[in-house]
Amino acid sequence: MILPLFFIFCLFSSSQAAVQDFCVGNLTAPQGPAGYSCKDASKVTVNDFVFSGLGNPGNTSNLIKAAVTPAFAAQFPGVNGLGISFARLDLAPGGVVPFHTHPGGSEILVVVQGTILAGFVSSANTVYFKSLKKGDIMVFPQGLLHFQVNAGGTVAIAFVSFSSSSPGLQILDYALFGNNLPTELVAATTFLDTAQIKKLKGVLGGTG
């Protein structure tokens, strides 16, 4: 009985092995559910495996006083198909990344400057949050609502790793108030006052 089980294990393990070394994303082609199609191997260069955009601070002159500089497959084609990606987060004093989700992957954040209050909400509506300082790391499981807030009086910087080359992003505030969903329907599904909903729609660019 041991030998057949070992044989099955070997078959399963080999089925998970990559059939090619890499699949540098062909950014001229559409992105599908599995990512980008592979760039012609003869046209792949070392520059496809290098991203140099995370050394510069992002522009935090915006409503949320935050900036995310992504190194996802769309910006960094070398990670296409590898199940990994990276990003830089800049938070000015008072900056916040509102409740959002990454449907495509889990996230690990490491603080390299300042203090960041971060947390997430489980599917059981249990909240986990903590103030993070330089060197602290926090994980945010795939698909769960989470947030980051600058908890200090200076600029905060973090670097973020994802378990997907295209983790995706949906910000809750914009999902509710940054579109053309009718105000009455938003009110019915959120129990918010219509005047407040219209005010938020005006701030976030929504209509209806």
pLDDT at 194: 93
Provide the sign of the torsion angle of the four alpha carbons 77, 82, 83, 87, taken in this order.
Answer: negative
Mean pLDDT of all residues in 123-128: 98
Q: How confident is the model at residue 3 (pLDDT cuts 50, 70, 90)?
A: very low
Cβ neighbours for 122, distance < 8 A, ≥ 6 positions apart: 128, 144
Q: What is the distance between the alpha carbons of residues 41 and 13, in angstroms, rounded to a whole number? A: 26
Mean pLDDT of all residues in 63-92: 97
CA distances from 18 to 14, 15, 38, 92, 183 (A): 9, 8, 14, 42, 49
Q: Could you read off the pLDDT of 151-201 as tens digits, one per residue?
A: 999 999 999 999 999 999 999 999 999 989 999 999 999 899 999 999 999
19 is in an annotated binding site: no
Q: Could you read off the pLDDT of 4-27 as tens digits, one per residue?
A: 544 444 444 444 456 789 999 999
pLDDT at 2: 47
Pairing of β 66-71 and β 107-113: unpaired
Mean pLDDT of all residues in 116-130: 98
Q: What is the distance between the alpha carbons of residues 86 and 100, in angstroms, rounded to a whole number? A: 17
The predicted model scores a pTM of 0.87
146 is in an annotated binding site: yes
100 is in an annotated binding site: yes
